[in-house]
Amino acid sequence: MKFDYHIHTEDSYDSSIKTIDLIDRAIQLKYDEIAITEHLDLLPIEMKSYGAPSLKHYFKRINDLQNTISELTLLSGVEVGDYHIVKDYAVSLLEGINFDLILGSVHFLSDQTNVAIPLKKQLSEEQIRDYYLQNLALVSNCDIDVLAHLGVYKRCYNSIPVERIHYPIIQDIFRVIIDRKIALEINYSSLRRGYPSFIPEQHILELYLALGGQLFSLGSDAHFIEHFDLFRDSIPQEFSNSFRYHL
């Protein structure tokens, strides 16, 4: 089964992809299933710049398309940024809308550093610890289906950093998502940015597997049509064969 469960289209403020073009491309590339996962970013700094999306309008748009497509399965979803910080507001917006897929992700550190955009310098060990603690809070307190792009701060690094000091927190994250049946996303957007690996990297995935993790998702995190499917074939076969994320 060929799928992608992390794609942004015209209802995400930073995407240029038209959903109909994406569908045509996915059919051409013989995808079985794709999920549109528009941004739901609700921190004050984000709301000031972009406002809140109309989730009902977006859901209806995808639902209308779902009723016209037979060549593949189209899913509707959202990526809730920093869900644990904006939980009450996010839950109120999502109430009554039956999305197929909810992704949770961390974009901001406690010091307001945005780790989802290219960084001017590498994070300090204290900031990295904070990043993983934010992810632990996210998966512990929010009802999500997928933990998205764990390790996103590394996407524009030139080499893979040594994170062994942070393994205990990463393992705590994995214990929680295993217990709560949250899928771990393998996100390969980092490869198109020059980072020498998908995220989380293979050695981090092996920590997850060693703890008994079995639930995976896969996402291009595409915002441009030319990025959809790009580097997908770089995912090692042993992980491609172990994907067991089913809605």
DSSP codes, 91-136: HHHHTT---SEEEEE--B-TT--BTTS--SSPPPHHHHHHHHHHHH
The percent of the chain in helix, strand and coil, each rounded to the nearest 5, is 40, 15, 45
Is residue 246 scored above 80 in pLDDT? no
Cis peptide before 161 (omega within 30 of 0): no
Q: Which CATH class is domain 3-240?
A: alpha beta
How confident is the model over 69-94, as a mean pLDDT?
97
Backbone angles phi, psi at 216, to 5 degrees: -120, 150
Q: How far apart are CA 148 and CA 159, in angstroms?
A: 21
Please say if the pLDDT value at position 25 is more than 90. Answer: yes
Contact partners, residue 50, CB within 8 Å, separation at least 6: 13, 41
Mean pLDDT of 166-188: 98
Residue 6: closest CA among 235, 222, 233: 222
Band the pLDDT of 239: cuts 50, 70, 90: low
For residues 82 and 108, the answer to whether their CB atoms sit within 8 Å is yes
Looking at residue 9, what is its pLDDT? 98
Q: Report, as an integer, the average pLDDT of 193-210.
A: 96
Q: Residues 54-79: what's their mean pLDDT? A: 96
Closest by Cα among 21, 15, 14, 101 to 65: 21
3-state secondary structure of 203: helix
pTM to 2 decimal places: 0.96
The stretch 49-63 carries a mean pLDDT of 93
Handedness of CA 102, 104, 108, 114 (dihedral sign): negative
Tokens of 192: 């198109």
pLDDT score for 240? 57
How many residues are present in the chain? Answer: 247
What is the arithmetic mean of pLDDT over 34-55? Answer: 94
Grade residue 247 by pLDDT with cuts at 50, 70 and 90.
very low
